[in-house]
Amino acid sequence: MFNIKSVGLTLVIACVTPLLLAGCSQGSDNQVAEQTGTLRSELATVGSDGATYEFPPGSFAIIQGPLSGQLVALDGPDQVLEHSLPVGSFSIDLLFTGDGAPRLNRTQDGTTTLVDVNWVDTHPIPFDVLQNATTDLTLHFHADTLGDITFENGNLDLRADVQNNTVTSVGSIEFDGSVAFSSETYADPSAPYATGLDVSDVESFVLLLQPTSDWQIGPGTVCRSASLTSFGFSSTGMGNRLAEEASEQQSICVFDEGDSDEVQVFSAHLGAAPPEQASFLPNSDYDFQLLIDARVGDVFDGVTLRQSAFANLSVPSGFFGHTVSEDIPLAEASGAVSGTIRMKP
């Protein structure tokens, strides 16, 4: 069985007030403003898969008090956050870098990947820092393609717990890449199709694929079919080449090649070109083929497909090739591909 793991993450922040931690004070009513508590949170944990999960650079807690707000960094060399707060009422929100979407870093075998998560709490979250008491504030996250992770601490009792759920289906597959073309040939360089399919030395693309079958295992390989629901491109010629495959099923296969497994996307379309290309490919008997052959790390051992690795899988090198034929090759373009593959439930 090939599974995508679904993760529930719980981050418990303990607000420890006077008499519980050193540095917190008691006093008369006119000294209340000097009384402080400590905000303490575990910022990293190790899951049952041996991976470490932590906040990425640019992650902050926004703590709003009765008089002012504070911005507290959640990343850095320390794996435990300790932050002094006065007694009073507060609220907490989180700020993430980039587009603001919540993400965690997942590190395993020396490789760190950025994983999308959903923060499911209604926020900002109110909490009180009370004298001689501990307030537990829990932040709930949900992440796809990972095992369950719990960041937990309460009154200095720090521990991590991991529980696993599984989701058996993949909802979408995204390939975001670039191609450095090294070959571009045409049977007739002066023909209109040579202009319509012309690509630059370097092109970029995005493929969004919707699985249409389950994984099927064979000797040393596992494959499934998918439809190309949408695509992005950097030039008209690149877009025309991708559009010629949009109506066909794509075959996605993973081949066990030891430490450097192979991920292949292939499609073949026999027939007419898309209507908008009829001006330069007017016939109905063309053979269009697209092949992307990417080299990745060890994701398949012939028995187990590590779908969790595809949450944000780097493609350092590979091959991109596209051909249009009509009895003979009319247009061919190929080059080196690199990019990122992402599978999501």
Per-state percent for the chain, helix, strand, coil, to nearest 5: 10, 55, 35
Q: Which residue has the higher pLDDT, 127 or 167?
A: 127
Residues 186 and 326 in one domain: yes
**Among 104, 129, 94, 100, which residue's Cα sits nearest to residue 51?**
104
Q: Enter the DSSP assignment of 300.
A: B
Task: Kindly tell me the sign of the dihedral angle through the C-alpha atoms of 70, 71, 76, 81.
Answer: positive
Residues 176 and 287 in one domain: yes
| Structure token pair of residue 175 | 């390939």
Q: Cβ(272)–Cβ(283) under 8 Å?
A: yes
- The pTM assigned to this predicted structure is 0.58
Looking at residue 192, what DSSP letter applies? H
Q: Say yes or no: 140 and 203 in one domain.
A: no
Q: Which residue has the higher pLDDT, 94 or 201?
A: 201
Task: Tell me, yes or no, whether 214 and 94 share the same domain.
Answer: no
Question: How many domains is the chain built from?
Answer: 2
| DSSP sequence for 217-267 | EETTEEEEEEEEEEEEESSHHHHHHHHTTTTSEEEEEEE--TTS-EEEEEE
At residue 169, the pLDDT reads 65
Give me the domain span that covers residue 53.
Answer: 4-167
Is the same domain home to 220 and 133?
no
pLDDT tens by residue, 166-214: 444 677 899 999 999 999 999 999 999 999 999 999 999 999 999 998 8
DSSP string, 111-141: EEEEEEEEE-S-SSEEEEE-TT-EEEEEEEE
Query: Could you tell me the CATH number of the domain that includes residue 53?
Result: 2.60.40
Same domain, yes or no, for 179 and 293?
A: yes
